[in-house]
Structure formats: structure tokens, C-alpha cells
Amino acid sequence: MSGADAVEQVRRSVHPVTQVLFDMDGLLLDTERIYTEVTQSIVGRYGKVFDWSVKGNMIGRGSKESSRYLVEALELPISAEEYLAERDVLLREAFPRADALPGAEALVRHLAEAGIPIAVATSSDLDLFELKTRRHGAWFDLFDTVVTGDHPKVSHAKPAPDIFLAAAEALGGGADETLVFEDAPSGLEAAMAAGMRVIAVPDPNMDKSRYAGAAEILDSLQTFDPSRYGLPAI
């Protein structure tokens, strides 16, 4: 049996997918570009460069954890709290301009029209979620539920599984029948820890070797084939 045949046999032996969870930043919305521009504007004043050697270890993590890492990694002469306070002002001005990423709206609409329960599971707090989605309410309203980083059932940020477990529970299905879309290694780790299958859609700059364990690694949501997971074909 070839390796591809073995993978296909395993895929068919697991529970069919009945519900789907989506991360948001860098997967549905192009907010990572905004984070990068704002962060560079801050660290650039200290002669520092915010590149993928640093960003790759921050993406997908909670704001407090990632800001502490940034300050230490770049040896900034400010505290993580000072960085976050300045960043927050700049981000709130920019987030309402966030664009949808290719294939995001079409896939969400397809699953919603097919009656598949879908949810957003984002590390963003609720107020930031509302800013980021301001231009996209028509299709974000199609989600059955949204679980944000400040949800009462999310005690620990990704890579802990809390947010995915809370979202799956809200939709009513079990972990073994839940499919997760993620762009970040920490999100992949969180979803796998929750016992869920994960499709990774990483930024082109990310090292794909960091996505071991993903059911698939896609270049874009546009290339996703729902029928491979027992979902209605597009």
C-alpha cells in the first residue's frame, strides 16, 4: 500500500466531519499585515526590525504572551505593557480596514448554505473582533457562534485547547467530528490538543515544517475540497 493510500484509509476510518471551526486573524481576514505594520512602526523607533524570525514565534498566541516575547527577543527598552498600550491605539484605528482573505467568504457561505454548523474561534477579544469584522458583517453573521479570547470558558490562550473545546461544545458536536482551519502553529497545536483534525493555511513566509500533524497544508482556502471530509462539495 502506498503512503497516499494509507493516509486515505486512515481518513475514511475516522468520524465524518459534522462541524467546522475557523480561526480568524490571518485565515479569514488579512489582519496580520496590519499587526506587522503597526508593530514595525513601534519597534522601528528603537532601530529594530520586526521580521518573520520574530513574528513566526508570535503568530496565533495571546497578546500578553506574544508581547512579552517581542520585548525580550528584540531587547526593547520598554515593557510589554507599554508596547501593548501604544499598539492598541494604532490597531484600533487600522482594524476596520481589514480585507477578507481569498476564498474565506465563499467557503463560509457555502458551509452555511449547506447547513453545516460553523464557528469562529479567535484569540482576539470581543471588542477587537467587532472592529476587525466591521466591513464583513454580512458573512460573519452566518456563523452559528463566535468564541473570542475573553470568553468565560477560555481560561488559557492557544496553544491550550480551551477555545476550540468551547466552540465545539457551543455547536453541539464532539471533538472527533470537528474540523478546524488554522494559520498558526500555536493554533494547530491547540486544535490537535483538543482532539480535532486541522487544516493548516499558513502564511507563505511560514516554515511549513512547523505544521506537522495537520490533515492538510493548503496555500489558500480557495483550494479546500470539502468532499474529502464528507462535507458538501462546492
Looking at the annotation, which residues are catalytic?
23, 25
Q: Which residues, 6+ apart, have CB-to-CB distance to 221 below 8 Å?
A: 27, 101, 102, 103, 104, 106, 107, 181, 201
Give residue 88's Cα distance to chain centre. Answer: 20
d(Cα 179, Cα 118) in Å, to the nearest integer?
Answer: 10
Q: Do 171 and 198 form a contact (C-beta atoms < 8 A)?
A: no
Q: Does residue 185 have a cis peptide bond before it, meaning omega lies within 30 degrees of 0?
A: no
d(Cα 136, Cα 94) in Å, to the nearest integer?
Answer: 15
d(Cα 181, Cα 187) in Å, to the nearest integer?
Answer: 9
Q: Which whole-number Å values give the CA distances from 67 to 10, 35, 72, 110, in the listed order?
A: 40, 12, 9, 36
d(Cα 205, Cα 188) in Å, to the nearest integer?
Answer: 17
